[in-house]
Amino acid sequence: MSSISGLVEDEISSFFESSPPLKNKEEVVAKLNQFIELNSSRQDGFNICLTGEKRRIVCVTSGGTTVPLEQRCVRYIDNFSSGNRGAASTENFVKAGYAVIFLYRRGTCQPYCRSLPDDPFLECFEFPDAKNIRVRESHSEAVKMAVMDQQAAVGEGRLLKLPFSTIYEYLQMLREMATALKDVGPCSMFYLAAAVSDFYVPWNSMTEHKIQSGSGPLDIRLAQVPKMISILRSNWAPKAFCVSFKLETDSKILIEKATKALQKYKVHAVVANELSTRKEEVVVVSSSGNVVVRRDSDKPESIVEDNLIRLIVDRHSTYIKENHT
């Protein structure tokens, strides 16, 4: 594995040095280590594992990162992502036997909640009388499945959910996660579906208080966020299987950009998707060629992640076989 250039490394170091430290770092690290320890000691119930293989652990990132404009943040720039891809992928990874660390943007879509209405708390319940509360018949199956599946995943120690909001929190948490997973080696995977800001306001050059409107139009200079995938691949977790995503709105440049990302960041696959069709189809770009993955349109319940995760799990199995020591 060729290491990244000194310049990129300097940019990355200075990004972290100037970031506001994670508020709950000890708690995050403790939860991560406990989850990883629990799952690395398990070989049970993993229907796709190879003989003697430990339980696989995937880190799924989901939702968009925010870029604060003020240190005491009132305004921020956001990145589009509902979190649907990450949540649906998490469900499929758990189903395939993986333990999942779900690193998600606060307030975005959660695993097992896709069949619930937008405001489940207010829409799913009714009061037959003043003393009782019950689930409406129309939502009972969806609520039952959501609660049971989520509780089973968490109860079996297969799902750890960690929230972020800002680009600073996201990248620091990703680094903690990669460092914690380093020893899991080829059985670990990074599935980077979060929509990560390309531009940000460096903390040191950010105003502390709310920007005032009295001084006329606002000029903001955004710096480029250093691409962390390269250091994740070369230093943080070089043995992990790594899947990144490429989002474009212009389908004409999508595959070319995804292919460039594959080569530049040396990830194992890039999932290319176009904004308007992302729920129907994606293209998995890798060194073994490009595969179009579609939702089964003849099955109304089918989602593209069912077929996508099947393919990714398959690729991960091959990777483990090739790198098993």
In the bound complex, what is the minimum distance in angstroms from residue 198's beta carbon to ligand 9Z3? 7
Rounded-to-integer distance, Cα 243 and Cα 270, Å: 6
In the bound complex, what is the minimum distance in angstroms from residue 153's beta carbon to ligand 9Z3? 20
In the bound complex, what is the minimum distance in angstroms from residue 193's beta carbon to ligand 9Z3? 5
CA dihedral 36, 42, 45, 49 (to 10 degrees): 90
Nearer to ligand 9Z3, 54 or 315 (CB): 315
Tokens of 276: 């308007």
Nearer to ligand 9Z3, 90 or 244 (CB): 244
Q: Which of 61, 29, 276, 50 is nearest to 163 (CA)?
A: 61
Nearer to ligand 9Z3, 201 or 261 (CB): 261
85 contacts 93 by C-beta, under 8 angstroms: no
Q: What angle do CA 23, 25, 28 make, to 5 degrees?
A: 120
In the bound complex, what is the minimum distance in angstroms from residue 255's beta carbon to ligand 9Z3? 13
Q: Footprint of ligand 9Z3 on this chain (CB under 6 A)? A: 81-85, 192-193, 195-196, 244-247, 273, 278
Nearer to ligand 9Z3, 95 or 278 (CB): 278
223-224 and 241-248: which strand pairing? unpaired
Rounded-to-integer distance, Cα 67 and Cα 189, Å: 27
Nearer to ligand 9Z3, 187 or 228 (CB): 228
Rounded-to-integer distance, Cα 168 and Cα 66, Å: 9
In the bound complex, what is the minimum distance in angstroms from residue 127's beta carbon to ligand 9Z3? 34
